[in-house]
Structure 1
Amino acid sequence: MKIQNVTDASFRKYGKVLEGYDFSALLKEMKHTPVPDDVVYVPSVEELEALDVAKALQNKGFGGIPIEIGYCNGHNKKLNAVEYHRSSEINVAVTDLVLLIGSQQDITDDFTYDTSKIEAFLVPAGTGIEVYATTLHYAPCNVQDGGFQCVVVLPAGTNTDLTFETAKTGEDSLLTAKNKWLIAHEDAAIEGAVNGLRGENITID
């Protein structure tokens, strides 16, 4: 698969590179977070949310609404699933990493998605990006043996446990956490997820 760069014009339909932020303290604090052999996601980390840049991310990035700052770290080479939110997501790459992304508009009426439409983008270390609400995404892929580290900023409560019942049909069946709609690949065997990805479970070599 061709790996493009988030600075390429082809990324503009999915998101944008952020300017005007000082991520240095955030990158330094992330060095204390684990990089497991699999993938770990933590929605909210007090030490990250206490940094000065958190206020800038809340006000400039999300228009002043409450946010959470967490991380997704580990080792991954596969697509496995795609998710989307009703809001943008901000990612800050602590290491070089690759995002496998697509468009929500390409989800079919029966809530399946053809993985041949996925595109790959390199996010260089130190780069912050906004990923638009209509952009399908999931865990990053590492491009180096040491794994990947990625800061994840979202509206507060996103990706936390559901506290209400959801329907088992239509788009409601994709809701696996608050503000998180997920379509999985059957190869990933994600418990409780709808296996609606059709085609190859894409791997980044």
Structure 2
Amino acid sequence: MNKYEKICKQNPTYTIKQISDPEFTKYGKIYTNYDVTDVMKYMDENITIDKTSNIYVPSNAELEKIPSMQTIATDIFAGMPFEAGECTGQSSNFTAVEYHQGSELNVMLTDVVMVLGKRNILEENGTFNAKEQGELFFVPRGTVVEFYSDTLHYSPIKVDNSGFKIIVMLPAGSNQPLPENFHSNNPRIVKKNKFQVVHESRTDKIKQGAQIGVSGDLIELVPLK
């Protein structure tokens, strides 16, 4: 039994599709033409997974210098300044959705499950019920994947109990703190180029000003031991 089959068996109440499923194509694109051996070596040797917390570094200068990162950024962002950083952690549930102006590209350093949706659902309904309106995809280690700008997403859900590790590439400045004098009429803006709504259970983010916009029961997966 492979890892995909194991995580499906472990969580029989959820439909988890493979990233190769045709249903994924409305959310993004898989790239198989990049050799990311250099970046995987860097991440394996230098970036650890915290045992309790999720940690996201929007911009890691050492990571951004790696040749494969430079090549991917040129192809995806077409000469625009970009940032690349690591996202690691222990998420086993899905408590928020976000989107950006511009695609996000991920390189997966562990197997993960991504919960995805489309922004038009949020716009039409005012909320997004991840359990009913989202789709779950198993994404194996080594995958290079672009998520389109209208794809709702959030931190990966770990497949293994040890946690998850991915690279996040975005237009430069994304997910960085807003200036103190920043003002907008858009209540979804929580950081630069980060539009987010959360589930009512995320009282930590609500206290920081995030709006409630994820409804229904939480998606919660049981990881593999």
> TM-score scaled to structure 1, two decimals?
0.94
| CA displacement, residues 3-60 of structure 1 (integer Å, 9 cap, x when unaligned) | 1111110100001111221111111111211211221111001111111112212211
Match of 2:210 in 1: 193
Question: 1:40-119 counterparts in 2 under 5 A?
Answer: 40-109=55-124, 111-115=126-130, 116-119=132-135
**More deviation in 47-56 or 175-184?**
47-56
Counterpart in the other structure of 1:156: 172
Within a 5 Å distance, the mapping from 1:155-194 to structure 2 comes to: 155-163=171-179, 164-167=181-184, 172-189=186-203, 190=205, 191-194=208-211
Identify unmatched segments of 5+ residues in structure 1: none
RMSD value, Cα: 1.3
Structure 2 counterpart of 1:203: 220
- Give the Cα–Cα distance (whole angstroms) in 1 for the partners of residues 90 and 157 of structure 2: 7
* In structure 2, C-alpha distance between the alignment counterparts of 1:107 and 1:65, rounded to whole Å: 28
Of residues 7, 24, 27 in structure 1, which corresponds to 2:20?
Answer: 7
Letter in 2 for 1:20: N
CA distance in 1 between counterparts of 2:194 and 2:174 reads 7
Give 2:42's aligned residue.
29
For 2:153, the equivalent position in structure 1 comes to 137
In the aligned structure 2, how far is the partner of 1:106 from the partner of 1:166?
A: 26
Following superposition, the deviation at residue 109 of structure 1 comes to 4.8
Q: Per the alignment, in what secondary structure is the counterpart of residue 178 of structure 2? A: coil
Q: CA deviation at 1:111?
A: 3.1
Distance 1:118 1:30, change over 3 A: same
Unpaired runs of 5+ in structure 2?
1-13
Q: What amino acid does structure 1 have at the position aligned with 2:25?
A: R
2: distance between equivalents of 1:108 and 1:52? 38
Distance 1:126 1:19 in 2: 10
**Amino acid aligned to 1:195:** I
Amino acid at match of 1:203: E
Return the offset for 1:114: 2.2
Of the structure 1 ranges 16-25 and 127-136, higher mean CA displacement relative to structure 2 is found in 16-25
What is aligned with 1:123? 139
Structure 1 residue matching 2:85: 3-state secondary structure: strand
Contact 1:6 1:16 survives alignment (8 Å): no
Give the 4+ runs in structure 1 shifted more than 4 A: none
Deviations 1:178-201 (A, max 9, x none): 110001001122132101111112
Rg larger in structure: 2
What does residue 11 of structure 2 align with?
A: none
